[in-house]
Structure 1
Amino acid sequence: MNSIISDSYAVHFNEKAFQSLNTHLAKMKYSIIFILVDENTHELCLPQFMAEINGDYQFEIIEIESGEVNKNIETCVGVWEALSELGADRKSILINLGGGVLTDLGGFVASTFKRGIDFINVPTTLLSMVDASVGGKTGIDLGALKNQIGVINQPVMVLVVPDFLDTLENRQVISGFAEMLKHGLIQDAPYWHALKEVKSLEDMKKHILTSIQIKNKVVLQDPTEQNIRKILNYGHTLGHAIESYFLESDAKEMLLHGEAIALGMILEGYLSHKLLGLTAESLSDIKNTFLSRYDKVEFSDNDIESILKLMKYDKKNSHGKVNFVLLKTIGSPQVDLQIPIELFFEAFAYYKV
């Protein structure tokens, strides 16, 4: 695969990824190379990663606990303290080896430690490869509220090694696939239809490059999310609220990000049908495609009301208005739309049928 050039860095793949990493480390002569992992990537990915590094460097490994529940300021404080205790200075670098939680948090930690040190992201999940790999968004959750604290800051490079996906359980893979399907819905109808035919992880790997190219194209046009970059949030306004609600509820089993976003895309597909004229055929296509891969979730009226209250914290909101991304057609989105409250209940009713 050819490298993808983003605004100020490149996304490298497979052998080119490690070649680029080794060239960069030899050139920069960092004081200490820190590698941030969780318990899973420490065991399953770190040995393979270290085996590909050439040269004699000082390494320090920092481990955090995996999971969205740990994407918070307390974990950041622990990493900042570890960096300080292990002698990190402004000429150190942090390599984030893990999924989206780890690369989001690690990027934020690096961007704020001593007012910013270099960092490299090595995404190891499908979700982080096709979503967190491009765009420079770093950050953490505020309680159960998703991505409330953070900065946009670019890594030195991103290294995508699809073989790391072989370490994942199937649920994690399918979660990441939701973001790939989203790329088709917001930018490329033929890509959407091609992804519907994917049957295996090996099939998914063949499409990773296309998804990253789609996201990179959007981000380059709007690095700070003032206009077109908002389309990447299709399914996320309701999806994030659902994810937050299930995260904070003791009575609910936590949903993975992609599972919640898949649900959000069905709901926002219904809103698109009602408000922008998305055809009934396209709406059925969206619903059937996601329900064929993602388990249906049960909602009570109280659940729905609580979810709708959480939407006021969505980062796309402005001037007290909850802003949505909806589809005119598959591949053609529209941003900054407000929704009549009764349509939300209609959307959930449509999902339940």
Structure 2
Amino acid sequence: MESVKSQSYEVHLGQLAEAALKQHIAKINYSKVFVLVDENTKEHCLPSFKEMLNHPIDHIFEIKSGEEHKHIYTCLDLWKQLSNFDGDRKSLLINLGGGVITDMGGFVASTFKRGIDFINIPTTLLSMVDASIGGKTGVDLGALKNQIGVINQPQMVLVFPEFLKTLDPRQVTSGYAEMLKHGLIMDAEYWQNLKTDGNFTDASCIQRSIALKNEVVLEDPTEKGLRKILNFGHTLGHAIESYCLENPNKKTLLHGEAIAVGMILEGYLSHELKGLPKLSLLEIKDVFLQYFDLVEFDDNDIRAILQLLKYDKKNSHGDVNFVLLQSIGTAVTDVKVPVELFYKAFAYYRE
């Protein structure tokens, strides 16, 4: 299976990934090799990774899993550990885990000693098809998603689809939401294949999602224009994810679960404002509700969620900018939405 070439690095899959890692480690004389894991990847992924790496690891840093630990205090602890274990500018940090690990590990590496090399090895479907491309690193500010961070590229990204066997089904389905998004925003044929085939953990599907995101990132690496389309479903989805994370009365949602809601809501906005056909809107809602449970929102929830929109990273000059669909496979950016339509979108979602 071919590797995907991004800006300054490549995404390698399967056997190519193992060969690329060994070649890179042999070529670069790193002073220290560190690995970042959480308790899940330490148990389920680290043993096979160490066997495959076949190179001394100077220290393994372990953090607690979950979005609630993706904050600056965890970074402070990791920076201290890197320093305590004699990390220097010629050290390497290997991030072995899901999006929290790769986002935060990339940020820690990018800022320690003003930047050390890092390699991302995503172990969840979500991180394979989303966080593996684009160089976005960072942490949350309280419950607000990814407010602090930098764009900085890894040395390489290594994707081993066999790690997906270690996940519970809910985590795998969460990643499916991002894959469906890739089809909705730029490849109608891919959307059709994904929603009908169901074999979305196949390596060829993972590679296709990586390649689609990479096309966008190569054209717009710093999100000045086209790259914004990757945020379809995320404006409301991130607000929903943050609200459920900080509200003890709501079930905490995985990222893919929250943006699945966001894509139905923003699909409705697309129908109202950009002419997305009614049949396409119904199709989008039907597909997502096949895989994701309906989430209950009352009027108080909706008002609180809408208040969080002001923190969205795409905002400019006080305006909330949305990515919407003209059709399945075609997205438009920087759309302003009248407030009353938000309530109609939630009503449509709850029907």
TM bin, normalised by shorter chain, reads: over 0.9
Corresponding residue for residue 301 of structure 2: 303
* Residue from 263, 271, 274 that aligns with 2:272: 274
State the alpha-carbon separation in 2 of the partners of residues 345 and 253 from structure 1. 21
1:191-340 alignment, distance < 5 Å: 191-200=190-199, 202=201, 204-340=202-338
Deviations 1:39-77 (A, max 9, x none): 00001000111111134x342100000000000001101
Corresponding residue for residue 124 of structure 2: 125
Whether the aligned pair in 2 keeps the contact of 1:139 and 1:151 (CA below 8 Å) is yes
Whether the aligned pair in 1 keeps the contact of 2:30 and 2:90 (CA below 8 Å) is yes
Q: Which amino acid aligns with 2:247?
A: S
Corresponding residue for residue 349 of structure 2: 351
Cα RMSD (Å): 0.9
**1:34 aligned counterpart, secondary structure:** strand
Whether the aligned pair in 2 keeps the contact of 1:94 and 1:117 (CA below 8 Å) is yes
Whether the aligned pair in 1 keeps the contact of 2:135 and 2:152 (CA below 8 Å) is yes
Give the TM-score normalised by the residue count of structure 2.
0.99
Q: Which amino acid aligns with 1:155?
A: P
Q: Which amino acid aligns with 1:225?
A: E
* 1:235 CA drift (Å): 0.2
- Does 1:9 pair with 2:9? yes
State the alpha-carbon separation in 2 of the partners of residues 201 and 316 from structure 1. 29
State the alpha-carbon separation in 1 of the partners of residues 67 and 165 from structure 2. 21
State the alpha-carbon separation in 2 of the partners of residues 324 and 201 from structure 1. 27
**2:324 aligned counterpart, secondary structure:** strand
Corresponding residue for residue 160 of structure 1: 159
Whether the aligned pair in 2 keeps the contact of 1:31 and 1:58 (CA below 8 Å) is no
Corresponding residue for residue 18 of structure 2: 18
State the alpha-carbon separation in 2 of the partners of residues 150 and 269 from structure 1. 29
**1:295 aligned counterpart, secondary structure:** coil
Corresponding residue for residue 65 of structure 1: 64
Q: Which amino acid aligns with 1:94?
A: L
State the alpha-carbon separation in 2 of the partners of residues 58 and 260 from structure 1. 37
State the alpha-carbon separation in 2 of the partners of residues 119 and 234 from structure 1. 28
Corresponding residue for residue 112 of structure 2: 113
Whether the aligned pair in 1 keeps the contact of 2:185 and 2:330 (CA below 8 Å) is yes
State the alpha-carbon separation in 2 of the partners of residues 298 and 205 from structure 1. 34
State the alpha-carbon separation in 2 of the partners of residues 177 and 216 from structure 1. 17
Q: 1:306 to 1:127 in 2, by over 3 A?
A: same
* 1:253 CA drift (Å): 1.1
State the alpha-carbon separation in 1 of the partners of residues 300 and 183 from structure 2. 33
Corresponding residue for residue 133 of structure 2: 134
* 1:197 CA drift (Å): 1.7
State the alpha-carbon separation in 2 of the partners of residues 200 and 190 from structure 1. 15
Whether the aligned pair in 2 keeps the contact of 1:173 and 1:201 (CA below 8 Å) is no
State the alpha-carbon separation in 1 of the partners of residues 279 and 94 from structure 2. 45
1:12-91 alignment, distance < 5 Å: 12-55=12-55, 57-91=56-90
State the alpha-carbon separation in 2 of the partners of residues 237 and 200 from structure 1. 28
State the alpha-carbon separation in 2 of the partners of residues 205 and 282 from structure 1. 28
Q: Which amino acid aligns with 2:323?
A: V
Whether the aligned pair in 1 keeps the contact of 2:194 and 2:200 (CA below 8 Å) is no
State the alpha-carbon separation in 2 of the partners of residues 58 and 297 from structure 1. 44
**Aligned positions, number:** 351
Whether the aligned pair in 2 keeps the contact of 1:108 and 1:151 (CA below 8 Å) is yes
* 1:281 CA drift (Å): 0.3
**Unaligned stretches of 5+ in structure 1?**
none
State the alpha-carbon separation in 1 of the partners of residues 291 and 175 from structure 2. 12
